[in-house]
Chains A and B, each alone.
Chain A
Amino acid sequence: MLTSVAALIVLAGLYSVHMMEEHGHIITGMNNQIVWGIPHVFAIFMIVAASGVLNVSSIGSVFNKPAYKARAPLAGLLSLAMLAGGLTVLMLDLGRPDRIIVAATNYNLTSVFAWNVLLYSAMFAAVVVYLWTMMEARMQPWSKHAGFVVFIWRFALTTGTGVIFSFLVARQAYGSAILPPMFIVISFAWGLAVFHIVQSAIYQWNGKMLDEYVQKRMKNLLGVFVVAALYFVVVYHLTNLYFARQVEFERFILADGGIYPLLFWAGYVVLGNLLPLLLIYLPGWGKTQHVAVASAMVILGGFAFLYVFIIGGQAFPLSIFPGFEVKSSFGDGVIGLYSPSLPEVLLGFGGVGIAFLITAVGIRVLNFVPREIPKKAL
């Protein structure tokens, strides 16, 4: 049932791509000022979460924690699924998706974007090998090594995602050295939130209960990651406030930029951080269903954060003539306007649909349900 809904969403996404191919990006809300829009919010969320979810595997294999080891295959599958979903969205949003082969055969090695293409492909391969070493008894001795490669690689991957933005020195929102580590920590929180939701769904469908000890540890871990991510975001904004030339931008994002401060405070800070933390830590709460709701909130908060970061960051005008008031026919000096259109939103959800389908099929066909290990082994 859910699978067919997901399939429908994927179809709707593909139809949007067809429309965008036919009419051009004019049917999206994107323009020459806001050049990256909703598709990028979806894609980057999924790619970042895909790297973060592997934390569950790493804790299992690299740091040898059995409770997490039992969950490593599921985490690997989720990572593949989200990577596939995110990359598909990114690719189909290109002005010329038909030229993807050009992108695959012409590399400009100074481009961070090209590095990322390599990083993602290698990541995909590494996770597949890792899954194989876990599922296939003969390969099991290699599992730890494969896990280690994945562990290192995903740092490179998320660093790469952060670097895409931190190389944009001319834009006030980006060009900061704190972005790569910030994205790494954020990825832990988002990845684990996705994992929690999928895990509780699987347990619910199979009528199983999550082991209390495991549940408690994983929920605490989510709490820690959420706090750590929030900390980095705070530092990012504080350092911006410290540089005088960035103060205007921060005022825009945090106070008078309309939708952006609203999404930042209500969406990211309250919905994405404070409420989930309450659900996790308030005495008497923190049960499986609370954690699932908290996870959903962390994910929504993540989308709000990326919307502000990606779109708000572009809406604020480039400072071409610092110290001057500027006006022109090309939107110089004014806040860029953007309202997402249906096709691009559908494209984004299409990517989520792809990730869901891969996960659902994977769980059905192969055995990805975490196998509980007796408590004393923990």
Chain B
Amino acid sequence: MSEINVQRRQFLKMSMGVAAVSIAPGIFLFDMAHGKADANKVRWGMLIETANCAEGCNDCVTACNTENGLSDGVSSTDSQWIRKIEIKDISTGRETSLPMMCQHCEHPPCVDVCPTGASFKRADGIVLVDKHLCIGCRYCMMACPYKARSFVHEPLQNQNPDVPRGRGTVESCTMCVHRIDQGQQPACAVACPNKSILFGNLNDPDSEIATRIRTVASAQVRADLGLNPGVRYQGL
């Protein structure tokens, strides 16, 4: 009887030790991964004015496809970095049209889950996929709450040299990082005939986007998830 008790106690001690050892690094990493952002740094973002966005207008989508060498196809296996969504409030019947793309989350689940570190967030807040590291596991697609990512299902032709893509890897809106790095605006923002997409530095208090966000009501999609997306919507 007492021998069993001793054995049991040893067993318990040992399992608790094992549990502690395996949990501790997890907690440490969690803290590291959720470090605070530096307020002085640039954070690129967008503010979308849904009231101006016309139903049926697809200009931002077309501009994106042209800029990034996407096919324009809309089958379930084609890449769509930006898409128009028509939404209708079930209780009031109010209809709104808006563009949806990678929201460049401050705490991106796609980056957290990526096994190789191919999904990453730049210092300026843009979330990208490193085409040389991505192994095509699609875990990031499972994790993204906005369905922002596409998997390249077929070999590609006619690529834009500025925008590397690759069969068997995952891709999504890059906020036209190649244009931003040359001081230009993202293609969709330029193409919108109604000036519905305002692009800028969220962290610069004097920028137009920061001023607008301070003065008008805007919202993040699925703000309840606490990911702090860099894309905000007005008039939702």
Residues of A at under 8 Å CB distance from B? Answer: 23-26, 31-33, 35-36, 94-97, 99-100, 102-103, 106-114, 117, 148, 152, 156, 164, 167-171, 314, 318, 320-332, 336-337
Given A95-B138, A110-B32, A113-B137, 16 other A-B residues pairs in contact with their CB atoms under 8 A? A25-B151, A26-B77, A32-B141, A32-B149, A35-B141, A35-B142, A95-B151, A96-B136, A103-B115, A106-B133, A112-B113, A113-B114, A114-B116, A170-B222, A318-B147, A328-B86
Report, as a range, how many residues of chain B touch the other chain: 35 or more
**In the assembled complex, which residues on chain A have CB atoms less than 8 Å from the CB atom of B14?**
148
Q: A31 — which chain B residues lie within 8 A by C-beta?
A: 76-77, 153
Q: Does B182 contact A (CB under 8 A)?
A: no
Q: Give every chain B residue within 8 A of A107 (Cβ-Cβ).
A: 115-117
Chain A: CB-nearest residue to B14? A148
Bound CA span A323–B85, Å:
14
B69 contacts chain A at the CB level, 8 A cutoff: no
| B40-66 to A contact mask, C-beta < 8 Å, 1/0 | 000000000000000000000000000
Distance between B78 CB and nearest chain A CB, rounded to angstroms: 8
Q: List 11 A-B contacts (CB under 8 A).
A: A26-B77, A33-B147, A95-B134, A95-B136, A96-B168, A113-B137, A148-B14, A167-B112, A167-B143, A324-B88, A330-B74
Is B168 a contact of A95 with CB atoms below 8 Å?
A: yes
Query: Would you give the 0/1 interface string for B95-130, flagging 1 where the beta carbon is closer than 8 Å to chain A?
Result: 000001000000001011111111000000000000
Complex Cα gap A110–B117 (Å):
9
Task: Determine the distance from Cα of A122 to Cα of B76 in the docked complex, in whole angstroms.
Answer: 38
Q: Which residues of B contact A99 (CB under 8 A)?
A: 133-136
Decide: A96 near B100, CB < 8 A? Known: A23-B154, A102-B135, A106-B117. no
CA distance A148 to B109 in the complex (A): 35
The answer to whether A330 touches B83 (Cβ under 8 A) is yes
User: In the complex, are the beta carbons of A331 and B76 less than 8 A apart?
Assistant: yes
The answer to whether B174 has its CB under 8 Å from any CB of chain A is no
A186 CB to nearest chain B CB (Å): 20
A318-B145 contact given A24-B152, A32-B77, A114-B115, CB 8 Å threshold: yes
CB of A21, distance to nearest CB on chain B (Å) = 8
CB distance from B28 to the nearest CB of A (A): 10
CB neighbours (8 Å) of B89 from chain A are 323-324
Chain B residues near A168: list those with CB within 8 A: 109, 142-143
Set of chain A residues within 8 Å of B114, measured between Cβ atoms: 108, 111, 113
With known contacts A36-B138, A328-B83, A110–B145 Cβ distance under 8 A: no
Least Cβ distance of B60 to chain A in Å?
Answer: 13
Is the Cβ of B221 less than 8 Å from the Cβ of A26? no
* Interchain CB contact (< 8 A) of A323 among B91, B138, B144, B169: B91
What residue in chain B is nearest A317 (Cβ atoms)? B147
